[in-house]
Amino acid sequence: MNIDTYLKRIEYLGSLEPTLETLRALHRQHLLTIPYENLDIHLGRRLELNEERIFEKIVLEKRGGWCFEMNGLFARVLRDLGFEVELLSGAVGRERIGVEAEGNHLVLLVKLPQPYIADVGFGDLPEPLPLGEGDYQQGFLTVRLTNEAERWTFHNHEYGGAKGFDFALQPHQLADFAKQCHRLQTSPDSGFVQKTVCQRFLPDGFATLRGAVLTTVKAKGVTKRVIDSEKEYKQILRELFGLELEVSDLYAKVWQRHLDWMASGGVVQ
């Protein structure tokens, strides 16, 4: 993997010393330039747990990715820069689906003098968090970490797409997530299969395109609007998320799901 190519991809010109300041700067710049997205699932393309393919997709093809790809790539970058990084198994939605949630999220532990949780693959955490209980203010967003026995829980901010996730500190390899990587992109019960999502941080907030609804969150408030044409959908992907894609078939699916959702009582507020 070519570090210089990655740094150019995220438009990063800062220090490369393995320090907390560098970790914070890389983490934030990654989220400002690379979108969290699951569009390949809806384009009929298989998502792989392969470092070379992940690098090719996100860096060379200028795409985004989901947690296994985004955090898998970020872990490799950090290690190549001299950071000590461990892959941890997270669980999103354990309160709903029980033990089946284990490993449906990949999160990183960066071993600095004070250990930090880094996560560019959840979509909602702009900066790394020190591994310690408490509330943390990140801009206008407030998140929390709690600990009970061997498990930690990340409590998301009020605008997050999920309530949070829990995780243990046992280290894993990328291949350990293969079962969940397959299930989440193939099971009809998977939210990733049911709906498209793109999310990207902005200098003053973040934007999420979930299905056909674009939500922008800033300190001054939340705005929502429905993207009701293929032309505008393609324009939003290109201008807001940096994604150049052929979207005719994709948008047809997105729009039909939106219509079905509205017919079932869904409301855009």
pLDDT per residue over 87-111, tens digit each? 999 999 988 888 899 999 999 999 9
> Strand locations in 173-259, DSSP E?
197-202, 205-210, 213-218, 221-226
Q: Say how many C-beta atoms besides its own lie within 10 A of residue 8's C-beta.
A: 12
Same domain, 148 and 209: no
pLDDT of residue 269: 59
Same domain, 146 and 249: no
pLDDT of residue 188: 94
- How buried is residue 173: exposed, middle or buried, by Cβ count under 10 Å (0-12/13-18/19+)? exposed
- How buried is residue 105: exposed, middle or buried, by Cβ count under 10 Å (0-12/13-18/19+)? buried
> Tens digit of pLDDT for each residue in 125-146?
889 999 999 999 999 999 999 9
Determine the average pLDDT of the residues in 14-25: 97
Same domain, 165 and 227: no
CA–CA gap between residue 73 and residue 51 (Å, rounded): 7
CA–CA gap between residue 132 and residue 117 (Å, rounded): 10
Q: What is the DSSP letter of 131?
A: S
CA–CA gap between residue 11 and residue 194 (Å, rounded): 33
Confidence band for 55, pLDDT divided at 50, 70 and 90: very high
From the list 119, 166, 181, 198, the catalytic residue is: 119
**Where a domain ends, among 130, 158, 182?**
182
pLDDT of residue 85: 98
Is residue 56 over pLDDT 90? yes
Indicate the Cα dihedral angle 110, 8, 63, 69, nearest 10°: -20
Task: Please report whether residue 256 resides in a domain.
Answer: yes
**Where a domain ends, among 182, 217, 246?**
182
Q: In the chain, pLDDT over 70 holds for what percent of residues?
A: 100
Q: What is the mean pLDDT of the chain?
A: 95
Of residues 199 and 99, more confidence is placed in 199
Same domain, 244 and 157: no
Q: Do the Cβ atoms of 216 and 204 come closer than 8 Å?
A: no
CA–CA gap between residue 24 and residue 11 (Å, rounded): 15
Q: What is the edge-to-edge ordering of all strands in the sheet holding 164-172?
A: 129-130, 116-118, 102-110, 85-91, 164-172, 151-155, 141-148, 134-138
Is residue 267 over pLDDT 80? no
Phi then psi for 264, rounded to 5 degrees?
A: -90, 5
pLDDT of residue 167: 96
Same domain, 163 and 216: no
Residue 206 tokens read as 């973040």
Rounded to 5 degrees, what angle do the CA atoms 173, 174, 177 make? Answer: 105
pLDDT of residue 247: 92
Task: Please report whether residue 189 resides in a domain.
Answer: no
Domain housing 57: 3-182
Task: Please report whether residue 211 resides in a domain.
Answer: yes
Q: Do the Cβ atoms of 90 and 68 come closer than 8 Å?
A: no
Task: Please report whether residue 187 resides in a domain.
Answer: no
Tell me, yes or no, if 181 is annotated catalytic: no
Confidence band for 162, pLDDT divided at 50, 70 and 90: confident
pLDDT of residue 96: 87
Task: Please report whether residue 268 resides in a domain.
Answer: no
What does pTM read for this prediction? 0.95
- Count of domains in the chain? 2
Q: What is the edge-to-edge ordering of all strands in the sheet holding 221-226?
A: 36-37, 197-202, 205-210, 213-218, 221-226
Q: In the chain, pLDDT over 90 holds for what percent of residues?
A: 89
Task: Please report whether residue 49 resides in a domain.
Answer: yes
> Tens digit of pLDDT for each residue in 210-266?
999 999 999 999 999 999 999 999 999 999 999 999 999 999 999 999 999 999 987
Same domain, 159 and 32: yes
Tell me, yes or no, if 67 is annotated catalytic: yes
From the list 105, 124, 157, 198, the catalytic residue is: 105
**Where a domain ends, among 182, 211, 239?**
182
Task: Please report whether residue 190 resides in a domain.
Answer: no
pLDDT of residue 185: 97
From the list 30, 40, 42, 67, the catalytic residue is: 67
Same domain, 44 and 175: yes
